[in-house]
Amino acid sequence: MEHMMSDLRRWRRTRNKPYALLEIKYIMEEILKGVAFLHHNGIMHRDLKPSNILLGHNSDVKICDFGLSARFPGRKYSSRVGTLWYMAPEILRGERHYTCAVDMWSVGATMAELLLDRVLFRGESECHQLQCIKWTINPLFSFLKKELAAAAEASPNLAVAALTEVGFDLLQRLLAYEKEDRITAKDALNHAWFAE
């Protein structure tokens, strides 16, 4: 790949201010275009996270690091892939038959991190990560609403303060606990949040 200016994580630290909502919306749309392309071509990335999303000088957004990617559908997959804080619940549970929905969970975790300006689930091991998700999953969306509201109150300049119910709906659909309930990249690109 050509040289890119930075990745999402490093760029946030370098510029020393949170992403604005319009920036997040643009970045998310670009990520989803890339993920939709991968999935359309039968590829699961399996390690999507802010440090694997590159930013260029011309507002280019590119996905990198395909070292853990795999073709789908089909065979059993390793349950030891990805970066802990962005792993889908089914991988954390040790499932070997999973789908490209694992990428959509990672996209949702990335969206939440951009909005909150911090990682949503910070487990210290696979078991602890799954517990962090399970502790909040039944009331996940009320938990998310509380987290988003608290972050917005503490830092009114955070993008989360401007997140609408429509944007929250997309986040909910990306972070659905059951893989069958997660939105696809193609459907996410057509979500009403991008038309707001």
Active-site residue numbers?
47
Q: How many residues does the chain have?
A: 196
- Cα separation of 118 and 3, whole Å? 27
- Cα separation of 17 and 116, whole Å? 12
- Cα separation of 82 and 91, whole Å? 9
Tokens of 97: 């038959």
Q: Judge residue 69's burial from the number of C-beta atoms within 10 Å of its C-beta, 0-12 exposed, 13-18 middle, 19 or more buried.
A: middle
